[in-house]
A and B are shown apart, each in its own frame.
Chain A
Amino acid sequence: MSALFDNLQVLFQGLALGSIYALVALGFVLIIRATNVVNFAQGDFAMLGAYAIVTFLVGLQLPYVVSIILALLVMAVFGMLFNLGVYYPLRNRSFLPVIISTLGASIFLQNTVLAVFGPQPKPLDKILNIDGIQVGGVFLDSQYLVILVVTLFAVAFQYFFFEHTLLGKKLQATSQDKDMARLLGIPVATMIAITFIYSAALGGLAGILVAPILFVSIGLGSIIALKAFAATIIGGFGDVTGAIVGGLLLGVIESFAAYYISVPYKDAYAFLALFLFLLLRPQGIFGERVSEKA
């Protein structure tokens, strides 16, 4: 019985971590689709979101809901600035300069936050007032439950937004064929800006949600982002469903491998899984055949 509960506990933990990866991966995927470029500062969006909420909630003592809304607004504005500063000037160049530019942005953001907030990690209250609930022999952390639910909502919202709203369809058109979208009179630059805004808010949300568990620190986003990126590839490069499934799968693989094989190599399993996927099924679970040829 206890072995079963232990396995369930490991599974829950894996899904919970996986849903964080998935949430960040969603932001990745949106930008990949819109610009064909991987944003290596995506994890820092989460880090910034966490610092934003800590500022409002702890610094200014605002209520939780208000703090979340304000933090998301800040992230939206930041997304716009990020687009203008990091992507827009390089939009006509190949993917390589853009990748490197986002790497630079990541270094810049982490160290700016370090200079402003100092290096001490900060604690943050959970959204719900209870620590968690005990179901049989399994402890369900309330924050992880919130994360699972929010991830579900984010996916549903994203689906509705892209498939059933005009703006969403314009965004889709932009991500599929920029030239064609331009011919149809869609303001491509604006669409890309919106993508960055949305993606920054989404990344920020991930940070806000995860902060009570992993605490608010400079490195909060980095390791999550690498895993999330691995998730996007495992799921299928640029595929929304793939990002979710990939994220969850990665979380679960990691969790069980740590439990059954070895804890110190926990971070290696994700990359090992990625390696195998890249070699055996580079298109990912849901992806079309890879054709990144010139």
Chain B
Amino acid sequence: MKAEELKAPSAGASQGKLIALLVLGALIPLLPFLIPVSQYTLNIFMNAVTYAVAVLGMVVVLGYTGQINLAQAAFFGIGAYSVALGTVGWGLSFWMAAGSGIVAAGLAGLVLGLTTLRLGGHYLAMITISFQQIFDLILVNWVEVTHGPDGIAGIPRPSVFGFVLADDRFYLLFCVAVLYACIAFVWWLPSTRLGRAMRAVRENELAAEVVGVHTLRTKVFAFTLSAMLGGIAGALYAAGFAYISPDNSSFARSIEFLTMVLLGGVQSPFGGAMGTVLLILLPEWLRFLKQIYLAIYGLAVILIMVFLPEGIWGLVRGGWRKLVPERVPPRRSVPPLDFDAGRVADGKPIMRITGLQKHFGGLRAVDGIDLEVARGSVHALIGPNGSGKTTSLNVVNGIYSPTGGQIVFEGVDVTAMKPHQRAGLGMGRTFQNIRLFQSLSALENVMVGAQRDNNPIPGGRRGLEDRALAALDFVGMGENVHMLVKNMPYGHQRMVEIARTLAGHPSLLLLDEPGAGLNQTEKQELVALLLRLRGHGLTIFLIDHDMGVVEKVSDRITVLNFGKKIAEGAPAEVLRQPDVIAAYLGEAPVHGPA
């Protein structure tokens, strides 16, 4: 759904609607010039519009990237205080002060984003709270610089081309223009490389990293953007209300921003803006409830979480889609998937593993494996449960760092590299339990795979899309490319996952039990697909339990037991070796959990 929404509307009818919406949007801030509006209404809207910009930051960081941020009010405060101190204290112009505030907020966001290097989830919640609290304490206590709890009054309005926006109506117009620009930016973001990477991180961080997304950088970008939007909001607010004090950027305000974005809809800028306006107006409308108003607010948060995970915007959009069914844009046809770009043919092994070890405490899951994968071959790694196959694969691909040993891939020592760096060198992988980006369409999933570093394809969105479509065609999933993968049957998802890897032009394809969970027909299709891939000269390194599959596709087999290699060679000979049979005896179900 997201994907279509982001497509430029191709038909005249929807273009008409869009124009109508734009005109309507442009007219609203002009209303105060046409009809008399009270100061109160202007203030309420100034409040809502400035907050909405901060809430857009929450859309980016929480909605798109899935990272919790409970310090948005601190970024808001950085922007606001920069404007206040800059204009009142140091006599800077609004633009200078706001600019430096936005940069400062961005820097703070960057630093906070960097902590996600090692920490996610709850830790992030805590670290952002800590940042928020410390910021608060500094604002209150560092009186010489921040003016302490008194706050700063008399902040001037900015001037545009010599025209001072002293009139609230003009200033509101200015704020709305900024808000619209920010909404447009945030709306456009998901269809960019960065936006796709963000959503991939949100859906499945591990898979995103493995298919080549620089997840840390993506998260840092998200935090920086979010913080900058918070900074813009704070700058607008400070000049709008002419007064700023520490309670404008308290922890409670951060929670308010969070609630706004959740109420409206965390994944859409429109939802975020809507949630803000609602939560600003609600307290005004609900004033008669007095004491229990905030209690209801809290209750609403729980109810939204339970019943409206996509917020009100999700509800509105769902209702709209029922009335006006979505029109699926026709997909264009693309040339067949190209396997040859960037191919090396030096006859050397594509990957060499020496003395590889991975220990978990006392458990030696992988205990000194040497292995070579010949270029252009299909190499299978087999062994009974717990023999260390999946662990080996995880070490090869960088999810685990090895306890000892070395991995050389395409002549480069990749032992210390992150998964996305390996992906950037052409190492592709699928997972035993499919790890797709569930709320993205098949096409977007595969585009994420295509946008890895160094992928030898034409640049730009068109190039990515063509590559992705070709990959989907290749695995037979060229229809319904806009369907969300979570609505696809299991077998199709497996194919999309393979396509996602193929779109990245892998020179080595790691397949982790590609046959797991497939029925017999699907398995036959898989074997056919693998044979086609082999026919195109792709190097494949796979694990599987199903000896039928392994035997049919492999050129070479390595057998592991208790983390050590016990046999290696051509399938026919290896599978006949007595110790291999012994290792499997009594314990080798054809489909077992690894």
* Chain A directly contacts chain B within the complex, with at least one CB pair under 8 Å: yes
Question: Would you list 9 pairs from A and B whose C-beta atoms are within 8 A, ordered by A residue?
Answer: A95-B121, A103-B301, A114-B295, A233-B123, A233-B126, A264-B141, A265-B141, A282-B118, A290-B119
Taken residue by residue from 88 to 120, chain A's Cβ proximity to chain B (1 for < 8 Å, 0 otherwise) reads as 011001011111110111111111101100000
Check B292–A112 contact: CB distance below 8 A: yes
| Neighbour of B306 across the interface among A90, A229, A233, A268, CB < 8 A | A90
Q: How many angstroms from the CA of A292 to the CA of B385 in the assembled complex?
A: 25
Of A165-173, A197-205, A244-252, A269-277, the one with at least 4 CB within 8 A of chain B: A269-277
| Neighbour of B294 across the interface among A97, A107, A290, CB < 8 A | A107
A73 at the interface (CB under 8 A from B): no
A90 surroundings in chain B (CB, below 8 A): 305-306
Check B292–A107 contact: CB distance below 8 A: no
Nearest neighbor of B361 in chain A, beta-carbon distance: A288
Check B302–A108 contact: CB distance below 8 A: yes
Check B134–A268 contact: CB distance below 8 A: yes
Check B309–A38 contact: CB distance below 8 A: no
Check A101–B295 contact: CB distance below 8 A: no
A237 at the interface (CB under 8 A from B): yes
Check A226–B133 contact: CB distance below 8 A: yes
Q: How many angstroms from the CA of A111 to the CA of B290 in the assembled complex?
A: 11
Known contacts being A97-B305, A293-B205, is A278 close to B123, with CB within 8 Å?
yes
Report B403-445 residues with CB < 8 Å from chain A CB. 435
Check A271–B130 contact: CB distance below 8 A: yes
Check B298–A108 contact: CB distance below 8 A: yes
Chain A, interface size category, equals 35 or more
| A254: min CB distance to chain B, Å | 13
B294 surroundings in chain A (CB, below 8 A): 107, 110-111, 114
Check A107–B206 contact: CB distance below 8 A: no
Report A108-148 residues with CB < 8 Å from chain B CB. 108-112, 114-115
Check A275–B301 contact: CB distance below 8 A: no
| Neighbour of B115 across the interface among A105, A110, A278, A294, CB < 8 A | A278
A292 surroundings in chain B (CB, below 8 A): 119-123
Q: How many angstroms from the CA of A108 to the CA of B224 in the assembled complex?
A: 32
Check A275–B302 contact: CB distance below 8 A: no
Q: How many angstroms from the CA of A198 to the CA of B121 in the assembled complex?
A: 25
B125 at the interface (CB under 8 A from A): yes
Check A294–B302 contact: CB distance below 8 A: no
Chain A contact residues, CB within 8 Å of chain B: 32, 37-38, 85-86, 89-90, 93, 95-101, 103-112, 114-115, 226, 229-230, 233, 237, 264-265, 267-268, 271-272, 274-275, 278-279, 282, 290, 292-294
Known contacts being A38-B125, A233-B126, A292-B119, is A107 close to B306, with CB within 8 Å?
no
Question: Which 3 interchain pairs have the tightest Cβ spacing?
Answer: A104-B301, A108-B298, A107-B298
Q: How many angstroms from the CA of A86 to the CA of B305 in the assembled complex?
A: 9
Knowing that A93-B309, A105-B302, A230-B126 are A-B contacts, what are 16 other residue pairs whose CB atoms are under 8 Å apart, sorted by A's residue number?
Answer: A86-B302, A96-B66, A100-B305, A101-B306, A104-B301, A104-B302, A111-B291, A115-B292, A229-B126, A237-B122, A265-B141, A271-B133, A271-B134, A278-B115, A292-B119, A292-B122
A112 surroundings in chain B (CB, below 8 A): 292, 295
Nearest neighbor of A106 in chain B, beta-carbon distance: B298
Nearest neighbor of B207 in chain A, beta-carbon distance: A294
B204 at the interface (CB under 8 A from A): yes
A104 surroundings in chain B (CB, below 8 A): 259, 298-302, 304-305
Check B134–A85 contact: CB distance below 8 A: no
Check A230–B130 contact: CB distance below 8 A: yes
Q: How many angstroms from the CA of A100 to the CA of B63 in the assembled complex?
A: 13
Interface of A is mostly: helix
Known contacts being A103-B258, A107-B297, A271-B134, is A85 close to B118, with CB within 8 Å?
no
Report B137-178 residues with CB < 8 Å from chain A CB. 137-138, 140-141
Check B298–A294 contact: CB distance below 8 A: no
Report B244-295 residues with CB < 8 Å from chain A CB. 255, 258-259, 262, 291-295
Check B123–A282 contact: CB distance below 8 A: yes
Q: How many angstroms from the CA of A83 to the CA of B68 in the assembled complex?
A: 23
| B383: min CB distance to chain A, Å | 24
Check B125–A99 contact: CB distance below 8 A: yes
Check A99–B68 contact: CB distance below 8 A: yes
B131 surroundings in chain A (CB, below 8 A): 271, 275
Q: How many angstroms from the CA of A265 to the CA of B294 in the assembled complex?
A: 29
B518 at the interface (CB under 8 A from A): no
Q: How many angstroms from the CA of A103 to the CA of B126 in the assembled complex?
A: 13
Q: How many angstroms from the CA of A59 to the CA of B379 in the assembled complex?
A: 77
Q: How many angstroms from the CA of A218 to the CA of B206 in the assembled complex?
A: 42
A89 surroundings in chain B (CB, below 8 A): 306
Check B298–A109 contact: CB distance below 8 A: yes
Nearest neighbor of B294 in chain A, beta-carbon distance: A111
B298 surroundings in chain A (CB, below 8 A): 104-111
Nearest neighbor of A283 in chain B, beta-carbon distance: B118
B129 at the interface (CB under 8 A from A): yes
Check B137–A99 contact: CB distance below 8 A: no
Check A278–B119 contact: CB distance below 8 A: yes
| A39: min CB distance to chain B, Å | 11
| A30: min CB distance to chain B, Å | 15
B242 at the interface (CB under 8 A from A): no
Check B204–A294 contact: CB distance below 8 A: yes
A107 surroundings in chain B (CB, below 8 A): 255, 294-295, 297-298, 301
| A273: min CB distance to chain B, Å | 9
A38 surroundings in chain B (CB, below 8 A): 122, 125-126
Nearest neighbor of B252 in chain A, beta-carbon distance: A107
B127 at the interface (CB under 8 A from A): yes
Known contacts being A275-B127, A282-B118, A292-B121, is A96 close to B295, with CB within 8 Å?
no
Q: How many angstroms from the CA of A282 to the CA of B124 in the assembled complex?
A: 11
B206 surroundings in chain A (CB, below 8 A): 293-294
B115 surroundings in chain A (CB, below 8 A): 278-279
